[in-house]
Amino acid sequence: MIRREDVELMGPAAGCPTCRKQMMKEPLAGVPRTEECRRRHERVMARDKDHRYERAFENLMHEDEETVRRKNVNRHAVEERELN
C-alpha cells in the first residue's frame, strides 16, 4: 500500500490520479494508480527494504504456489475423468 506519506516524500507521480487525490487529502475509493506510479514506488520500497514491499512479495509468492497447487489438482481431476 502506498501511503500519502510516501507520496509526500517522493512527490506525486505525473498523471497519477491517486497521488493527486492523496496530496489533496481527498477520498481514494475506486481511484486506481497509474502503472508507472506503482512501479516507481515499488522500486524505492525494494531499494529501501521496506517491510510493506517484502510482505507483498511474500504474499505474491504464496499466491503463486497456491495457484500452481490448484492447477495441479484440477489437471489431475481432468486426467482421472478422461481415464474413466
- CA 24, CA 12: separation in Å to the nearest integer? 11
pLDDT confidence band for 24 (50 / 70 / 90): very high
List Cβ<8 Å contacts ≥24 apart for 48-55. Answer: 52/1
Q: In sequence order, what E strands does the chain have?
A: none
Tell me what the pLDDT averaged over the chain comes to.
81
pTM: predicted TM-score of the whole model, two decimal places: 0.59
pLDDT digits (tens, 9 = 90+) for 26-62: 998 888 999 999 889 888 888 888 888 788 777 777 7
Q: How many domains does the chain have?
A: 1
pLDDT confidence band for 74 (50 / 70 / 90): low
> Is 80 exceeded by the pLDDT of residue 71?
no
Higher-confidence residue of 5 and 75: namely 5
Of the candidates 83, 56, 8, the one whose C-alpha atom is nearest the C-alpha of residue 19 is 8
Q: Which domain holds residue 76?
A: 4-83
Half-sphere exposure of 32 (CA within 13 A, CB side): 3
